[in-house]
Structure 1
Amino acid sequence: MKHVAIIGYGAIARYVMTAIAERDTVALCGIIGRAGRLEDARACAPGAIAIADSVGDLPQRPDLVLDCAGHAGLREHGPDILAAGIDLYSVSAGALADADLYRDLSDAARRGRTALRIVSGAIGGLDILSAARQGGLTRVIYRGRKPPESWRGTPAEERIDLDAQSEAQVHFRGTARQAAALYPKNANVTASIALAGIGFDETEVELISDPACRENRHELAVEGAFGSFAIQISGRAMPDNPKSSALTAMSMVDTLARLEDAIRIA
């Protein structure tokens, strides 16, 4: 039996909690919430699960921690968890665009002899991308297309009129590092691609608001010594959070499931 703690209590965290409750090889031993907002976390916690604002304050030491809270959660708790000798799985790839945080997490993992694992999230093809990197990559471009409501509360509002759109509009062109910094709740996919492939500063990104879109569409095109490939994924958002992909939550559950497998796809 593995004992698992979760950082966060939003839509993705609640989905993962439900999945853990249905398994007999994994048990939820705690939720790590934001200091000053632990009552919000308690309202989402199943049963009498422990709530704390740090991994060290949980009554039971977890075997591993799942970060479902976003960039702030990884930044606040990640280094302490890794340094304490606990492996960490995260959906917050975009936070690693911050070079200082990347260094802090790497140093903490070395001290704790642990690892930070980024789950695949809303995008596929990362295994092919990572393998192709070994032969050399020449171009990696990601295009993210979402309905206007998914871009509310982001810099897209400053560049286009989301209420008056009649056709698709590109509101961002740049690097994965820039996209992850400007769109922390929308562009984790860009960071996952950068980490698996050619890096934050070489990965090209376009973000598009499209009123004809009913689902979040991810397009990845890659060229290199291996040849080329392109994939497109149309994913549905979480019912209670249009900025979060349902596939992101599913990928975290799948990560847990694969920990149990004696034979698995590497």
Structure 2
Amino acid sequence: MKNDAKRVAVIGFGAMAQSLKDSLRGSGSGIEIAATLVPHDLTVTHDGVEVFHDIASLLAWGPSVVVECASHEAVRNTVPPLLRAGIDVIVVSIGSLGDADLLLSLETAASAGGSRLTVASGAIGGLDVLRSAKIAGLESVVYTGTKPPSAWNGTPAEQKVDLASLQDATVIFEGNAAEASRQYPKNANVTAAVALAGVGFENTKVTLVADPHARGNTHKVNASGAFGKFEISLENKPLPDNPKTSWLAALSVEQALHRHFQRIEL
């Protein structure tokens, strides 16, 4: 059952999950999103997708792997019991892992169930470099995220600036990855990915920018340490149905699923 590529489930069924389902169906990989776990008050009508409203029913269905693409709350409430039941989970809401207590509970659950939790790399690259450089010692990691003003709607940025009338690029947040993950959980998951790969949530510096001239979502990482230094910059198009999410973030989840089912990981 664990290697059945046709029994993949997702937690949540928003724009990212639907994009993932459609992309996998067209890829010819044989991997299919066949079930979803959603709240009782949410109706899902999608061809070929079983809908569950509680974890027990999902476990009885028997998923081979579950992809969380819902929220920090979903990671906290639904991922631990899945791991304890021996189900591997891919987490998209990486910002939730800034909570040390939650991270410990996930590790404990995975150990108890003999399962594995992995995180999608999200909209940023270069994480393999950070992980390698971390071994010798990193001195500084700085992440800068720039998105169009509309991508920051529904966030604390609305209380700081008038997003609709911005004429120039404006900093809406400066702090560390821990603060960014708490204040901007839906927009700044990439900061958590950088923090986990590098110097941690408290020591990763973060700047978030609203830019009316931005053509997409731009992610930059500058790092230095014993290895030397590097800079990476990606300009990503937003997911067509959700401007708060980079398209590359959705693609990284698909890639994580491909790697999960590969016999040889390249």
Common fold, TM-score beyond 0.5? yes
Q: Which residue number corresponds to residue 242 of structure 2? A: 241
Cα RMSD (Å) of the superposition?
Answer: 1.4
Q: Which residue number corresponds to residue 51 of structure 1? A: 51
User: Shift of residue 205 of structure 1?
Assistant: 0.2
CA distance in 2, matches of 1:155, 1:212: 21
Structure 2 SS opposite 1:66? strand
CA distance in 2, matches of 1:24, 1:93: 26
Give yes or no for the alignment of 1:28 onto 2:33.
yes
| Unpaired stretches in structure 1, ≥5 consecutive residues | none
User: Shift of residue 29 of structure 1?
Assistant: 3.3
Give yes or no for the alignment of 1:10 onto 2:14.
yes
Provide, for residues 202-261 of structure 1, a one-character-per-residue CA deviation record: whole Å limited to 9, x for no partner: 000001111111110001000011000000000011111111111111111112223344
Structure 1 SS opposite 2:96? helix
| Unpaired stretches in structure 2, ≥5 consecutive residues | none
Identity percentage of aligned residues: 41
Provide, for residues 73-107 of structure 1, a one-character-per-residue CA deviation record: whole Å limited to 9, x for no partner: 22221111111101100111001112222122111
Q: Which residue number corresponds to residue 112 of structure 2? A: 111
User: Shift of residue 160 of structure 1?
Assistant: 1.4
User: Shift of residue 262 of structure 1?
Assistant: 4.1
Q: Which residue number corresponds to residue 124 of structure 2? A: 123
Q: What is the TM-score normalised by the length of structure 2? A: 0.93
Provide, for residues 131-150 of structure 1, a one-character-per-residue CA deviation record: whole Å limited to 9, x for no partner: 11001000000000111111
CA distance in 1, matches of 2:31, 2:47: 15
Structure 2 SS opposite 1:124? coil
CA distance in 2, matches of 1:93, 1:193: 10
User: Shift of residue 20 of structure 1?
Assistant: 3.2
Task: Give 2:91's aligned amino acid.
Answer: S
Q: Count how many residue pairs are aligned between Structure 1 and Structure 2.
A: 260
Task: Give 2:31's aligned amino acid.
Answer: V
Are the structure 2 counterparts of residues 251 and 113 from structure 1 closer, same or farther at C-alpha, using a change threshold of 3 Å?
Answer: same
The 5 A counterparts of 1:38-117 are 39=43, 42-43=44-45, 45-47=46-48, 49-58=49-58, 59-117=60-118
CA distance in 2, matches of 1:178, 1:224: 23
Contact 2:21/2:32, CA 8 A, preserved across alignment: no
Structure 2 SS opposite 1:26? coil
Contact 2:11/2:69, CA 8 A, preserved across alignment: yes
Give yes or no for the alignment of 1:264 onto 2:265.
yes
